[in-house]
Chains A and B, each alone.
Chain A
Amino acid sequence: MSGLLSSIGYQYWVLDALILIPVAGGAVALVGPEVSGKRTALVVTLLEFVVSLGLWWAFDPATAGMQFEVSHAWIPSWGVTYHVGVDGISLFLVLLTTLTMPLAVLGSYTYIKSYERPYYALLLVLTSGMLGVFIAQDLFVFYVFWEIMLIPMYFIIGVWGGERRLYAALKFFIYTFVGSLLMLVAILTIYLLVGQSTGRYSFEYQHLLNNIWLTGRWGIWLFGAFFLAFAIKVPMFPFHTWLPDAHVEAPTAGSVILAGILLKMGTYGFLRFALPLFPGVALSPAVSTAIVVLSVIGIIYGALVAMVQPDFKKLIAYSSVSHLGFVMLGIWALTLQSVQGAIVIMINHGISTGALFFLSGMIYERRHTRAIAAFGGIARVVPAFAAILTFVSLSSIGLPGTNGFIGEFLVLLGSFGTQPAATIVATTGIIFAAAYLLWAIQRILFNPLDQPENEKIPDLSVRELIVLAPLLACIVWIGVYPAPILRRTEASAQALVNQVRGPQRLPIVPGAPER
């Protein structure tokens, strides 16, 4: 397979193609006839998925560095290069994105009833933006993609969202914007510091990474700027307040993308940029303790708040805060297992929570309510829905044999060595997860069927089953046989751990005297 791929020069054009296909498709969807908007989008996202699938085989698991690299000069006078690449950390986030998008399109078929063409065009543009974030190897390019994807999401929430969509969209936009603008200042500062000390002004990530070693006040301020941008995106407690609003008000596909992919940008940012650029600051006892404590608070707090939500979608939203807390713990524990576990949870969360959001959207389309109290006993009415919801919930809880187990187990195992106390507290989060999800399932599916409106709900349609089937397959597959994923992430994760923990280089005192 990899021989075939390299015979068509796959590694040279794949990343460019992945960015360009959705943009071109978005233009076609926008100007094409109204009825074919969704079909165009489906074809384009499927094509995108097929193209990206080659990465699975063409990817060389033994290489820790970037693969499929492509580089074009963009703004030479500022040292900006359009440089993209994929390594073991970003590979699965790219694949997760390309897998989620066709499902998101298909899942929107009946949900979106107005202005279909711009909706699907925005989804496609969003695809490019998200992929760009995961593959950018130049901080300018990274920043551009990071911000660009705000716009389609802002419109998707604001135009096609629920009742409080305007508030939720604005809140989502402003929160992200605040964080990212400070990151912009930090990126420019790093660029100038490295430029002054090496004489080469470039936003190339590798160049900056090789030449920066910051400690003291500079390091703390710059790390703080990156931290804020990523922590809001993750979202870490206490920066999470935009999340419930945005998730609940967004249309189903919007929630799926938000939870499945957008949140991962924050954790990915920590893994890719914040940790390697500022290891001295990130691993200093004060910072690292603070972040681990916040992660654990997020795990417990997210689970407890999820438990008391009357709205099923909001429950899933808060469960994200909890799951992402595990990812942050795994990243900051910084062992091979914990980092690999964090990557696996990122994938799992995209799959399981994505499926949960789809399911909540499907039941909402039938009953036009998401209140848990409005249901009860519907397992008899909609057996397929009930079976799938139960199964997905179990995977989200982390039942052995499902994907959820693998990730959380790896994180806890890997973290115990370096962060024992936090790991012990975090473990209780799994128990809480079982509590809130099983309780919710019980109230929705199994209590007595006491509301007459619920007696005639139609079960899942074939289209909806097609949307869910790939996610269910992934849940089982990762749960039973995660080795292919672990093998592909190992080299890059190990390199990251070594690099961050590695021998401390001597600090370069930035260009001018400390002020």
Chain B
Amino acid sequence: MTEAEVDERIRALIKPFNNKGVSIEPETTFANDLEFDSLTVMDFVAEIEDEFDIIISMNQQAEIENYGQLITAVHKLQDN
């Protein structure tokens, strides 16, 4: 799967969590721009994990601050 395909799928997954309709750019942050709390993060991560049949450990989540980093990480994980 290309990075563009990963991006497309995650864009669809993020919609129900993006209550404020924040525009999603690579530099959009989850904590500040999207105001995700820890529970939202858990649900959102679970959706991605199921979609791509991967695990994103909390250690990996801690390194991911913005949307661009998430796409890169998921692209790499689903490639393995």
Are both chains from one complex? no
